[in-house]
């Protein structure tokens, strides 16, 4: 490379003692004119003791550990344990991956960490949905303009299992998350333990952005809903509604629809009008969580779905799809996936993930788990039922299940039947209402007296050996 005055840049750098000449294996007479110039330049720098040829002690650069790398997740967690009690953690944002995820340099600890903003999300970058990309890019550019290569303070909440530091980024007294929410570039997503004052402030700013129709709230994009922090119990006071079983993992986890929901007919009509031949194919790579239309191999029909992951056991072009209106999963070829129309995408999922309230039921890996699942299926599948939501724990709704029209009679509940057969025990985790506790206790006593199910072993839920 040469400057405009034909000076060789390589020669200038070597002559100043800022670089060495390396890789010369040929005889001196075979060297090109440029190599000879470099050799002469290096000799000049050596004689003058310039730069790297000087006798000055050169201060070595710090060596940094990169905890942001995916393979260093365990090391990142251990590093978090080391610094979690630090009052002040200062850093510099080195890289903006998206609007809510950044690589941060911590000079005081000679390392890099990956930071995810606490309790908020920005829209994912998805080439299959241009409207997502618009606001994903907007959030990313806003972050670049405001915090990239800036000094920040990290208020760290925790470190997740992938090695991401869940934190708030502070610039002086300002929380950067407030700016994202205020401009409609992010939405609240509650997961983990969050201080009440913090989340209240976030929700207030989100509500203001919604009212002003800023950012993502100026569109009809449906944002991902949070499920609350893990283990958090949210009381539900809904009335009993009709339920229809749509899928079952075992007696502890099942999915159901409300057959009276007006959205059910709406979805069915829109799917009837959906043409898989003319619909747009999905572009790869697919993101986890990408909404789609997927053809179900068992009946060759199209249904609403969500990408869970690349199918690890099947062919490379297959993906595990979760069917959001039924609760089942299936391996589906890329050729059988389509972009979901906006009208269908904006209707909430029709199925509810549920478990039986107030009882501890035999799971598939417990003793009598298979028997419990078969009995539960026989009592619920294709039956006219009613479900009364009691509380929400994470993504699962705890429900009381009755035959339709029997919701005022606990002895007809599925809980009562499971207890009487010895496939369940009364829960010790939750307080059971008095009117239910009396009836459930009689059912449990019957199973105990007859040594049915788990009571053959004193009521223990033992895992089978594999």
Summarised one tens digit per residue, pLDDT across range 308-356 is 999 877 677 999 999 999 999 999 999 999 999 999 998 999 999 999 9
Given a cut of 60, is residue 465 above it in pLDDT? no
CATH number for position 314: 2.30.30.140
Position 257 in a domain: no
Encode pLDDT of 211-230 as tens digits: 999 999 999 888 876 655 55
318 and 404 within one domain: no
Reading the block at residue 205, the tokens are 């700013």
94 and 34 within one domain: no
Given a cut of 70, is residue 81 above it in pLDDT? yes
**Taking a C-beta distance cutoff of 8 angstroms, is the pair 293, 305 a contact?**
yes
130 and 158 within one domain: yes
pLDDT given for residue 233 in this prediction: 81
- DSSP per position, 375-399: HHHHHHTT--EEEEEEEEETTEEEE
Instruction: Provide the b/e sequence for 235-255 (b: ≥16 CB within 10 Å).
Output: eeeeebbebbbbbbbbbbbbb
169 and 49 within one domain: no
78 and 49 within one domain: no
- Average pLDDT over the chain reads 91
Picking from 218, 243, 273, the residue at the C-terminal end of a domain is 218
Given a cut of 50, is residue 181 above it in pLDDT? yes
pLDDT given for residue 1 in this prediction: 76
- Centre a 10 Å sphere on the Cβ of residue 154 and count the other Cβ atoms it contains: 20
Given a cut of 90, is residue 247 above it in pLDDT? yes
CATH number for position 100: 2.40.50.90
324 and 393 within one domain: no
Encode pLDDT of 182-212 as tens digits: 999 999 998 777 888 999 999 999 999 999 9
**Taking a C-beta distance cutoff of 8 angstroms, is the pair 242, 260 a contact?**
yes
pLDDT given for residue 466 in this prediction: 28
What size, in residues, is the chain? 466
Picking from 157, 191, 218, the residue at the C-terminal end of a domain is 218
Poorest-pLDDT segment among 138-142, 295-299, 454-458 = 454-458
CB-based contacts of 452: which residues, under 8 Å, 6+ apart?
Answer: 420, 421, 422, 446
426 and 391 within one domain: yes
Given a cut of 70, is residue 28 above it in pLDDT? no
Reading the block at residue 38, the tokens are 């470099």
CB-based contacts of 48: which residues, under 8 Å, 6+ apart?
Answer: 17
211 and 98 within one domain: yes
- Give residue 276's domain range: 262-345
The two beta strands, 65-66 and 111-117, are parallel
The CA distance from 24 to 38, in Å, is: 11
Position 376 in a domain: yes
Give me the mean pLDDT over the 416-434 stretch.
Answer: 95
Beta bridge partners of 242: 386
300: left (phi over 0), alpha (psi -120 to 50) or beta: left
Split into its structural domains, the chain has a count of 4
Give me the mean pLDDT over the 158-165 stretch.
Answer: 95
> CA angle, 16 as apex, 12 and 21 as ends, to 5°?
75
Which of helix, strand or coil describes residue 68? Answer: coil
Picking from 345, 367, 390, the residue at the C-terminal end of a domain is 345
Position 240 in a domain: no
Position 401 in a domain: yes
pLDDT given for residue 463 in this prediction: 45
Position 201 in a domain: yes
Which of helix, strand or coil describes residue 346? Answer: coil
Position 365 in a domain: yes
**Which secondary-structure segment (H or E) carries 11?**
helix 9-15
95 and 204 within one domain: yes
pLDDT given for residue 206 in this prediction: 97
176 and 81 within one domain: yes
Instruction: Provide the b/e sequence for 73-88 (b: ≥16 CB within 10 Å).
Output: beebbebbeebeeeee
Give me the mean pLDDT over the 413-418 stretch.
Answer: 97
Poorest-pLDDT segment among 10-24, 313-327, 411-425 = 10-24
Q: Is pLDDT larger for residue 323 or for residue 88?
A: 323
Given a cut of 70, is residue 144 above it in pLDDT? yes
The CA distance from 164 to 141, in Å, is: 21
The CA distance from 18 to 68, in Å, is: 32
355 and 453 within one domain: yes
Question: Of the candidates 413, 419, 422, 431, which has an alpha carbon nearest to the alpha carbon of residue 457?
Answer: 422
Reading the block at residue 441, the tokens are 């206790």
316 and 453 within one domain: no
pLDDT given for residue 3 in this prediction: 78
Q: What would you report as the CA-atom Rg of the chain, rounded to the nearest whole angstrom?
A: 31
pLDDT given for residue 227 in this prediction: 59
Position 225 in a domain: no
Given a cut of 80, is residue 364 above it in pLDDT? yes
């Amino acid at each position: 490379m040469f400057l405009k005055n034909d000076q060789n840049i390589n020669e200038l750098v070597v002559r100043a003692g800022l670089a060495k000449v390396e890789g010369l294996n040929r005889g001196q007479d075979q060297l090109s004119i440029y190599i000879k110039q470099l050799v002469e330049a290096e000799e000049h720098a050596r004689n003058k003791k310039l730069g790297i040829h000087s006798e000055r002690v050169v201060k070595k650069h710090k060596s940094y550990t990169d905890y942001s790398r995916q393979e260093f997740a365990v090391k990142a967690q251990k590093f978090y344990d080391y610094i979690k009690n630090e009052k002040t953690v200062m850093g510099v944002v080195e890289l903006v991956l998206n609007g809510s995820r950044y690589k941060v340099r911590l000079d005081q600890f000679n390392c890099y960490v990956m930071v995810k903003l606490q309790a908020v999300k920005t829209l994912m970058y998805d080439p299959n949905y241009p409207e997502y990309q618009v606001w994903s890019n907007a959030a990313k550019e806003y972050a670049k303009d405001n915090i990239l290569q800036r000094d920040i303070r990290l208020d760290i909440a925790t470190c997740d299992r992938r090695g991401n530091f869940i934190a708030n980024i502070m610039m002086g007294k300002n929380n950067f998350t407030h700016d994202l929410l205020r401009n409609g570039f992010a939405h609240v997503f509650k997961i983990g333990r969050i201080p009440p004052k913090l989340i209240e402030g976030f929700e207030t700013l989100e509500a203001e952005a919604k009212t002003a129709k800023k950012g993502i709230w100026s569109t009809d994009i449906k944002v991902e809903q949070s499920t609350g922090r893990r283990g958090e119990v949210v009381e539900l006071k809904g009335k009993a509604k009709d339920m229809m079983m749509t899928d079952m993992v075992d007696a502890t986890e099942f999915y159901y629809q409300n057959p009276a929901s007006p959205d059910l007919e709406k979805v069915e009509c829109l799917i009837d009008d959906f043409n898989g031949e003319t619909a747009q194919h999905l572009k790869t790579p697919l993101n986890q969580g990408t909404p789609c239309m997927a053809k179900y191999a068992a009946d060759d029909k199209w249904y609403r779905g969500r990408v869970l992951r690349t199918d690890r056991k099947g062919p490379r072009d297959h993906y595990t799809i979760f069917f959001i209106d039924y609760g089942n999963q299936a391996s589906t070829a890329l050729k059988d996936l389509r972009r979901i129309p906006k009208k269908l995408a904006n209707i909430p999922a029709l199925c509810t993930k549920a478990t039986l309230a107030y009882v501890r039921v035999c799971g598939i890996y417990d003793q009598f788990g298979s028997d419990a699942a078969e009995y539960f299926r026989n009592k619920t599948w294709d039956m006219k039922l009613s479900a009364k939501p009691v509380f929400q724990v994470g993504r699962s709704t705890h429900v009381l299940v009755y035959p339709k029209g029997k919701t005022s009679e606990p002895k007809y509940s599925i809980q009562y039947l499971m207890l009487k057969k010895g496939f369940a025990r009364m829960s010790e985790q939750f307080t059971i209402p008095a009117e239910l506790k009396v009836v459930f206790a009689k059912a449990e006593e019957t199973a105990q007296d007859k040594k049915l199910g788990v009571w053959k072993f004193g009521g223990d839920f033992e895992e089978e050996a594999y």
